[in-house]
């Protein structure tokens, strides 16, 4: 099968991770886990961005070295991703020596090719963006629109990259490849930005910034953040300007690069231009997600509403991250902003995971024990020629189609829609009534249809909720791992005849967040 290479933005380690960082990493992880269910060769890269003036200043204010600050905060990101079951293959740090060495080679190659030149410059620099801003991009008050701070006027002699040289090629690529920028409505924003694009600074004077990768043949200059940071997507694969590795040849170009909408310009304009200058293919898709607000308010340190993933886990006494992972993925349509609130979180995961899916499994298994002693006889197994089986297979197709367009929230809704169908089927057929009337064969067939449906639901839901899905599989007496199920191999009727469960083995796979059982440990 074909390969699948996914990257995320690399997180700036000037502070600890919050749920905005978590949203992106969970989205990437859900995508990767889904495509692992469909392909055999998948690679997932994430990382940390560790150079620049903010790191330099923060470290100085604390009386430690920039590297010590980076080591401390990079570890916090690693621990956060471990706690959220983020299944990356590699986490690159831009302070990795092999990365720094290749960045120097990339810079030198661009310089040797005539794409980089030295130039004296006076401009408005936003340290929050790590970028020079054009006056027309500022607010009416002269502030950076993203950070609402007045940029600093900087006069330096820096190296510049001939971004304007690639303007027409980038415009042509965007127009000819509608899948390049997703969601598609973001493409017009990028095309508008390209209308006024100018050459960009790709170095800073060491007098201004000394924490970064030095220009190899000019000791007075530090390579500016975007060549350093963006190159991680290829240096992590072993790219080299002279002899690229087999791994680079195997995985590049990336299939999808997941980023926040605020860094769209750098990934959809700067990055393609760098790649064109290096004579490398462009990524197939740049996927820009929205922001996560807190109670409908943008996260801000000054407002004190910055929430870390572990805060949610601790508030609701969650031992597994599945509920948080699920909520973060369904709180926003593809590319749009989402919102977190404790109330929304509790209501959504209770409705979908506890009441809808969890309760469906629990009551069906209990009926299987009550009426058939937990046993499935050969005649209980239904054929795929029934409406529930057809709906299950159709849902697999719909989920795959959604993921092909990177619509993670919408794919989850397809799964919930199917669980609603199955719940309605149980209520309409009333297997308890069939048993009361002595229609045991019909009752057994209904229960089998529901149990098979739960197997499908658990497999499709596994990228979102790997632990809950595995619990469902174990309660269905399955020996395979839910996350390893290949969706193309899902077939109806694979729960075999035999003992499926016993009364003492049945337990809720997800407890309601406001239940007495769920709150017992916290109360104690």
Q: What is the CATH number of the domain that holds 393?
A: 1.10.730.10
In a domain, 351, yes or no: yes
In a domain, 128, yes or no: no
Of 51, 54, 126, 289, catalytic? 126
In a domain, 356, yes or no: yes
How far, in Å, CA of 152 to CA of 440, rounded? Answer: 78
Of 111, 144, 265, 400, catalytic? 144
pLDDT at 120: 86
Of 119, 147, 436, 499, catalytic? 147
In a domain, 147, yes or no: no
Q: What is the DSSP pairing of strand 152-161 with strand 214-215? A: unpaired
Of 51, 54, 129, 310, catalytic? 129
Known catalytic residue: 18?
yes
Any bridge partners for residue 3, and if so which?
A: 41
| Mean pLDDT, each 10-residue run in order, the chain (524 residues) | 93 93 98 97 98 94 97 97 98 98 98 95 76 80 82 88 98 98 95 94 92 95 94 98 96 98 96 98 97 87 84 93 97 92 95 96 98 97 96 98 97 98 98 98 98 98 98 96 96 96 94 66 48
Number of domains in the chain: 1
How far, in Å, CA of 249 to CA of 314, rounded? Answer: 43
In a domain, 181, yes or no: no
Of 18, 54, 267, 289, catalytic? 18
In a domain, 249, yes or no: no
Of 119, 249, 298, 377, catalytic? 298
**List of residues 6+ apart from 493 with CB closer than 8 A:** 381, 382, 383, 384, 389, 452
How far, in Å, CA of 211 to CA of 59, rounded? Answer: 10
Judge contact between 23 and 293, C-beta under 8 A. no
Reduced to 3 states (helix: H, G, I; strand: E, B; else coil), residue 146 is coil
How far, in Å, CA of 328 to CA of 471, rounded? Answer: 21
How far, in Å, CA of 50 to CA of 335, rounded? Answer: 27
pLDDT at 524: 46
Known catalytic residue: 298?
yes
**List of residues 6+ apart from 374 with CB closer than 8 A:** 365, 368, 499, 500, 501, 502, 503
Known catalytic residue: 289?
no
In a domain, 218, yes or no: no
pLDDT at 522: 47
- 305: nearest Cα among 16, 12, 10, 19: 19
Alpha-carbon distances, residue 334 vs 187, 267, 282, 299, 372 (angstroms): 14, 18, 22, 20, 44
Known catalytic residue: 70?
no
> Residue 364's domain spans which residues?
341-523
pLDDT at 410: 97
The secondary structure element, H or E, covering residue 452 is helix 440-461
Reduced to 3 states (helix: H, G, I; strand: E, B; else coil), residue 286 is strand
In a domain, 25, yes or no: no
């Amino acid at each position: 099968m074909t390969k699948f290479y996914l990257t995320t933005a690399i997180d700036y380690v000037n502070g600890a991770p919050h749920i905005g960082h978590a949203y992106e990493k969970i989205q990437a992880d859900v995508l990767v886990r889904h495509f692992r269910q469909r392909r055999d060769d998948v690679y997932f890269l994430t990382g940390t961005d560790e150079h620049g003036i903010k790191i330099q200043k923060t470290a100085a204010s604390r009386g430690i070295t920039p590297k010590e600050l980076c080591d401390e905060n990079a570890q916090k990101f690693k621990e956060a991703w471990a706690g959220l079951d983020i299944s990356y293959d590699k986490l690159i740090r831009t302070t990795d020596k092999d990365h720094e060495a290749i960045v120097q080679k990339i810079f030198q190659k661009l310089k040797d090719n005539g794409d980089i030149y030295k130039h004296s410059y006076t401009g408005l620099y936003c340290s929050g963006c790590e970028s020079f801003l054009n006056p027309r991009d500022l607010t009416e008050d002269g502030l950076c629109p993203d950070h609402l701070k007045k940029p600093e006027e900087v006069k330096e002699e820096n190296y510049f990259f001939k971004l304007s040289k690639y303007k027409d090629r980038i415009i042509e690529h965007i127009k000819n490849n509608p899948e390049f920028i997703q969601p598609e409505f973001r493409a017009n924003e990028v095309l508008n930005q390209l209308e006024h694009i100018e050459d960009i600074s790709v170095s800073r004077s060491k007098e201004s910034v000394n924490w970064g990768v030095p220009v190899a043949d000019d000791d007075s200059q530090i390579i500016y953040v975007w060549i350093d940071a963006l190159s991680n997507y290829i240096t992590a694969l072993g790219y080299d300007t002279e002899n690229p590795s087999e791994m680079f040849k195997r995985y590049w170009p990336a299939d999808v690069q997941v980023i926040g909408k605020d860094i769209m310009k750098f990934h959809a304009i700067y990055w393609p231009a760098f790649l064109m200058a290096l004579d490398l293919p462009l990524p197939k898709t740049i996927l820009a997600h929205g922001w996560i607000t807190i109670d409908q308010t943008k996260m801000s340190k000054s407002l004190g509403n910055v929430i870390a993933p572990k805060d949610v886990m601790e508030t609701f006494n969650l031992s597994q991250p599945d509920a948080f992972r699920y909520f973060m993925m369904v709180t926003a349509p593809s590319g749009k902003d989402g919102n977190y609130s404790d109330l929304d979180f509790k209501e959504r995961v209770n409705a979908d995971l506890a009441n809808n899916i969890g309760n469906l499994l629990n009551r069906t298994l209990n009926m299987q024990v009550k009426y058939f002693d937990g046993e499935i006889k050969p005649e209980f197994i239904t054929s795929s020629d029934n409406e529930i089986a057809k709906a299950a297979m159709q849902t697999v197709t719909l989920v795959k189609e959604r993921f092909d367009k990177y619509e993670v929230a919408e794919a989850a809704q397809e799964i919930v829609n199917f669980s609603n169908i199955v719940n309605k089927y149980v209520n309409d057929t009333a297997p308890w009534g069939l048993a009361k009337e002595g229609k045991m064969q019909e009752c057994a067939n209904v229960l089998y249809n529901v149990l098979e449906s739960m197997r499908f639901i658990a497999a499709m839901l596994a990228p979102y909720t790997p632990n809950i899905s595995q619990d469902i599989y174990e309660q269905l007496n399955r020996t395979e791992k839910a996350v390893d199920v290949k969706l193309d191999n899902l077939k109806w009727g694979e729960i075999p005849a035999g003992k499926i469960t016993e009364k003492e083995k049945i337990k809720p796979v997800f407890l309601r967040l406001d239940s007495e059982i769920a709150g017992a440990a916290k109360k104690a």
